[in-house]
Amino acid sequence: MNVDEDWPRRAVCRGMDPELFFPGEKDTPAQRAAIAICQRCPVREPCLASAKRSGVTYGVFGGVFINHVMTGRPGRPEAPCGTSGARMRHRNRGETCRTCGIDQTARR
């Protein structure tokens, strides 16, 4: 198995609640806590590289807070459904998406 393909198995966050890495606003205690978890991780670089390759628009990856949800990136397609970036996009827009497991109807 290629080292790049194997990195998630060595991630410190493996088995943690993924919501920890989608902390809301910038520079909050939750965001700092997520970044602190990443700082202990031996696979920060491949994590961040993978997030960038997949078009993630929001969250903490490799110790970096990515927030392109509201501004978007011209010429860049949105993250595909089923990814963490798409789930956050649906939450922020108040959308329901079966593929992403987001049900906004309960909030209304």
Binding residue ranges for [4Fe-4S] cluster: 13, 38, 41, 47
What one-character DSSP code corresponds to residue 22? Answer: -
**From CA 35, how far away is CA 50, in angstroms rounded?**
17
Annotated binding site: 13, 38, 41, 47
Segment holding 97, helix H or strand E: none
**From CA 59, how far away is CA 29, in angstroms rounded?**
14
**From CA 103, how far away is CA 27, in angstroms rounded?**
28
- Find the helix packing angle between 44-54 and 29-39, rounded to 10°: 120
